[in-house]
């Protein structure tokens, strides 16, 4: 009985804020990630006309949940980072050393908010470099609104769940994306694997929150780890290049940190 009353109160609060629940059980939505900061962020996004509705869950993770949403009549993905359970110490490893966010305070809230801003900035840079990543639309506090990669409200599958007709061709495409990310967007993904590459006629790279600039002190280590992960996955389906050869290919034969960048 208490749960029903709580659910109705939550629904009413969303309605008062102008947030519409679309095709979803709002009690399930409420139970996952919603707190005061998240509701405030939703309120701002709705009233800035960056979002008109929130729908069902696409994925659930330790750090964030992703929901369907609606923006200007179009389906979008809404990524909401968890304020209570996000591993802010692990997040800090990817932020500290990134000159774009040198002034960040190291509280849990500030780290999560900076991470959201960082993913928006990284996606924007990757898109501008011509990479197949979700287009970022807006962010506020711990919420990021971006392009939905999928069809008819069904998310595109992770590449690990797809039977590839030409695995060697896809492998080379992914290597090309790592190279473009490094050379054109001047970023290293930092956690690339078969779990954050979606397949929709071509490979789409997602989960760009941890991506670092080339001058980050751990950029070289992260790049080698990305290449190692991709080689591990594709080695079951096709021949793969030597790790050192790929590092030279991706970096153009050398790895030289660039001048520090200002926050974007």
Cite the active site residues. 191, 207
- Region for 68 from its dihedrals, namely left if φ exceeds 0, alpha if ψ lies in -120 to 50, beta otherwise: beta
Here the tokens at position 199 are 């397949």
**Sheet of 64-71, strands arranged across:** 20-21, 53-60, 64-71, 74-81, 143-147, 136-140
Asked if 142 and 112 count as a contact pair (C-beta separation under 8 A), the reply is yes
Q: How far apart are CA 35 and CA 80, in angstroms?
A: 11
- Measured CA to CA, the distance from residue 20 to residue 5 in angstroms comes to 19
């Amino acid at each position: 009985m208490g749960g029903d009353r709580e659910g109705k109160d939550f629904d009413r609060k969303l309605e008062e804020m102008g947030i519409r629940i679309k095709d979803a059980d709002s009690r399930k939505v409420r139970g996952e990630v919603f707190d005061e900061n998240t509701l405030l962020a939703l309120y701002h996004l709705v009233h800035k006309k960056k979002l008109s509705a929130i729908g069902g869950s696409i994925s659930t993770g330790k750090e964030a949940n992703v929901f369907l949403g609606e923006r200007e009549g179009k389906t979008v993905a809404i990524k909401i980072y968890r304020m209570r359970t996000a591993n802010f110490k692990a997040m800090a490893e990817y932020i500290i050393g990134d000159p774009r966010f040198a002034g960040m305070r190291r509280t849990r809230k500030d780290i999560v908010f900076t991470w959201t801003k960082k993913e928006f900035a990284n996606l924007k840079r990757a898109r501008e470099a011509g990479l197949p990543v979700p287009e970022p639309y807006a962010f506020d506090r711990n919420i990021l609104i971006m392009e939905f990669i999928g069809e008819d409200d069904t998310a595109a599958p992770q590449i690990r769940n797809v039977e590839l007709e030409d695995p060697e061709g896809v492998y080379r495409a992914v290597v090309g994306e790592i190279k473009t990310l490094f050379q054109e967007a001047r970023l290293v993904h930092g956690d690339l694997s078969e779990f954050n590459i979606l397949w929709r006629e071509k490979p789409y790279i997602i989960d760009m929150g941890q991506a670092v600039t080339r001058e980050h002190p751990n950029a070289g280590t992260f790049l080698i780890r990305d290449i190692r992960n991709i080689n591990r996955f594709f080695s079951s389906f096709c021949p793969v290049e030597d790790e050192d050869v790929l590092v030279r290919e991706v970096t153009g034969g050398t790895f030289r940190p660039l001048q520090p960048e200002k926050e974007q």
